[in-house]
Structure 1
Amino acid sequence: MTLTQLKYIVAVDKHRHFATAADKSYVTQPTLSMQIHKLEDELGVILFDRSKSPVVPTEIGEKVLDQARIVLNEARKISDIVQFQEESLSGTFRVGVIPTVAPYLVPRFLHSFLTAHPDVELVFEESLTATILDGLESDELDAGIIATPVKNAHIYTEDLYVEPFAGYLSKSHPLVEKELLSVDDLEQTNIWLLNEGHCFRDQTVKICKEATRKRGSEIEFRSGNLETLKKLVEQNYGMTLLPWTATKYSDHNSSEAIIKEFSEPVPCRKVRLAYGRKHLKENILKEFRESIIRSLPEKLLNADQQMVIE
């Protein structure tokens, strides 16, 4: 039995397809299949039901896979112990970031962090929350930046900042005449939203929930990217909501759209740093978090008079 064989069966379980698992493991399918057959022969059991599509683990296969993940996680810690000594700040640090945070937060702290810690290799993966949590659970990620609570005893979170929502309105929108928006205003208009799976979409829907139920407003789903929604607004179509950090990359005097903040209590989201419970990279994690905090304006560190949408 080898660690490589264990990696292959975990890959097959993850992708539920031998060819895809081989591709993601950077080997040919015959190589992966041969190694899994060898492992099955050695153990004297069948790990996968190959008659089904997608392929699924057998009952004994599920138990073997659970243990394989534990073995692989523990094996990774051997190199971590050497690489991430108490006095050392070096090595690879893998971070998952949700798409509505990544382009607006990472540029704020990346340069200063890498300047202060040139021996740390940061690897960012832009993913939805569910994928990031899976990555933390499987130890494929060292940390995640998310904007929803976590109900998992194996994952810890620390608050980073509280971020207000802001309206992004076309020039001809009736709400542009208001100095500040209120949550009640949102019942008067359709709002462009992200596709399902984005926590920012879910939070926007929660803000609009009561108004939508009362007025029967139509909600339109168009994109997985905030920048695309902004472009729709700039083409004189309706409005959308943006995280406050996204507005800092927009021109308040744009000829195509207007940014409007909310009156108190301001609807906002809480952005969190998530990481695994057993963590050998506390030194990097601590510096990473502090670097983020130092990059933020005071506005985002003060949650007074704000309405957190979870």
Structure 2
Amino acid sequence: MTLVQLEYIVAVDTYISFVAAAEKCFVTQPTLSMQVQKLEDMLGVKIFDRSKQPVNPTEIGVHIIAQARTILQEAGKVKELISAQKLEVSGEFKIGVIPTVAPYLLPKVIANMLSKYPDLKLIIWEYTTEDILIHLKTGVLDCGILATPLVDANVTEHVLYYENFVAYLNRGSKLYKKKIIDPVDLNDENVWVLNEGHCMRNQVLNICRSTKNNRLQGLEYNTGSVETLVRMVDLNGGATLLPELGAEELTGKQKNRLRSFKAPEPVREISLITHKNFIKHRMLELFKTEILETIPKHMKNKKKKDVVGV
């Protein structure tokens, strides 16, 4: 049994495909299949049920793969200890980010990280919270950036910042003349929200209880893009809620349509999360430092009281 064979069965389980696993491991599919077969022959059991598509592990295979992940994590600690001793920053760092954070936070952070650490390879995916948690536990991701708090004993949360929600209004809204609004003011508005699966949808619905979400006569609109919500308000009326960093990306004219909420303002907590068996601590600390250097100072204040639930 070799670490390479264990990496291959973990990859097949992660990507539920021998072909995809081979691509991710940078080997040919026959080579990967041969090594998996050798491991199965040595153990005397079938790890995968090849008769099903996508490929699924057998009952015993589930336990073998779980143990393989543990062994690989422990082996990875040796490399991490050596890198820490040499103060090296090299290798892959795999990050999952929710779409309502990624475009406003990461571009500058990525540029700084790659400039300072040329031997580092960042691999970034935009995922929903649910997908980030799944991929974190299966080893596809090293860390995630999402809204917290979560209720998960297998995850460690490293709070980064707190950002307010603001309302974005169409010029025709009856609320447009108000400088400060109350969440209940939105009850009679058509509030455009993200579709199911996005944590910000739940947060917005916790702030305002409009029954007209995403609806016009003859239309029910589902989107995963904050930018689309803004366009829908501009062209079809109503309102939406934006995170503070997202609001900074608007044009000057669009910023005139923003309204703050009366105190206590609704706010979301954004954190770096890692699995309890996480080992790339140096990379994480450097990544966290770069993020905090790009965040406005007032967003790094101690915990605010009115964090909206995920």
Specify the TM-score bucket, using the shorter chain as the normaliser.
0.7 to 0.9
**Contact 1:48-1:56 within 8 A present in 2 as well:** yes
Corresponding position of 1:72: 72
Corresponding position of 1:295: 294
Matching of residue 217 in structure 1 with residue 216 in structure 2: no
Q: Which runs of 5+ in 2 are unaligned?
A: 215-219
Corresponding position of 1:149: 149
Deviations 1:159-187 (A, max 9, x none): 11111111122222222121112110121
Question: Following the alignment from structure 1 to structure 2, what is the Cα–Cα distance between the partners of residues 66 and 231?
Answer: 45
**Contact 2:99-2:127 within 8 A present in 1 as well:** yes
Corresponding position of 1:94: 94
Question: Following the alignment from structure 1 to structure 2, what is the Cα–Cα distance between the partners of residues 135 and 125?
Answer: 11
Corresponding position of 1:237: 237
Question: Following the alignment from structure 2 to structure 1, what is the Cα–Cα distance between the partners of residues 103 and 43?
Answer: 47
Going from structure 1 to structure 2, the CA distance change for 1:59 and 1:162 (only over 3 Å counts) comes to same
Corresponding position of 1:43: 43
The AA in structure 2 aligned to 1:176 is Y
The AA in structure 2 aligned to 1:175 is L
Per-residue deviation at 1:28? 4.3
Per-residue deviation at 1:81? 2.2
The AA in structure 2 aligned to 1:246 is G
Question: Following the alignment from structure 2 to structure 1, what is the Cα–Cα distance between the partners of residues 226 and 150?
Answer: 24
The AA in structure 2 aligned to 1:56 is N
Per-residue deviation at 1:89? 4.8
Question: Following the alignment from structure 1 to structure 2, what is the Cα–Cα distance between the partners of residues 15 and 305?
Answer: 40
Question: Following the alignment from structure 1 to structure 2, what is the Cα–Cα distance between the partners of residues 112 and 218?
Answer: 39
The AA in structure 2 aligned to 1:262 is F
Deviations 1:90-142 (A, max 9, x none): 22433322111111112454455555556554443322222322333234433
Q: How does 1:79-228 map to 2 (within 5 A)?
A: 79-85=79-85, 88-92=87-91, 93-112=93-112, 120-208=120-208, 211-212=209-210, 216-219=211-214, 220-228=220-228
Question: Following the alignment from structure 1 to structure 2, what is the Cα–Cα distance between the partners of residues 206 and 289?
Answer: 29
Question: Following the alignment from structure 2 to structure 1, what is the Cα–Cα distance between the partners of residues 21 and 282?
Answer: 33
**Contact 2:95-2:122 within 8 A present in 1 as well:** yes
Per-residue deviation at 1:22? 3.8
Question: Following the alignment from structure 1 to structure 2, what is the Cα–Cα distance between the partners of residues 70 and 40?
Answer: 18
The AA in structure 1 aligned to 2:212 is S
Going from structure 1 to structure 2, the CA distance change for 1:259 and 1:108 (only over 3 Å counts) comes to farther
Going from structure 1 to structure 2, the CA distance change for 1:241 and 1:33 (only over 3 Å counts) comes to same
Q: How does 1:246-261 map to 2 (within 5 A)?
A: 246-254=246-254, 258-261=257-260
Deviations 1:193-212 (A, max 9, x none): 2222211112112223xx34
- The Cα RMSD (Å) is 2.7
Question: Following the alignment from structure 2 to structure 1, what is the Cα–Cα distance between the partners of residues 24 and 116?
Answer: 34
The AA in structure 2 aligned to 1:217 is K
Matching of residue 309 in structure 1 with residue 308 in structure 2: yes
The AA in structure 2 aligned to 1:207 is I
- Higher mean displacement: 23-32 or 224-233: 23-32
How many residues align? The count is 303
**Contact 2:90-2:117 within 8 A present in 1 as well:** no
Corresponding position of 1:268: 267
Question: Following the alignment from structure 2 to structure 1, what is the Cα–Cα distance between the partners of residues 118 and 174?
Answer: 50
Secondary structure at 1:241's aligned position in 2?
strand
Going from structure 1 to structure 2, the CA distance change for 1:5 and 1:224 (only over 3 Å counts) comes to same
Per-residue deviation at 1:252? 3.8
**Contact 2:14-2:140 within 8 A present in 1 as well:** no
Going from structure 1 to structure 2, the CA distance change for 1:306 and 1:252 (only over 3 Å counts) comes to farther
Q: Which runs of 5+ in 1 are unaligned?
A: none
Going from structure 1 to structure 2, the CA distance change for 1:54 and 1:272 (only over 3 Å counts) comes to same
**Contact 2:97-2:126 within 8 A present in 1 as well:** yes
**Contact 2:191-2:212 within 8 A present in 1 as well:** no
**Contact 2:192-2:213 within 8 A present in 1 as well:** no
Going from structure 1 to structure 2, the CA distance change for 1:203 and 1:221 (only over 3 Å counts) comes to farther
Matching of residue 16 in structure 1 with residue 16 in structure 2: yes
Per-residue deviation at 1:243? 0.4
Going from structure 1 to structure 2, the CA distance change for 1:26 and 1:290 (only over 3 Å counts) comes to closer
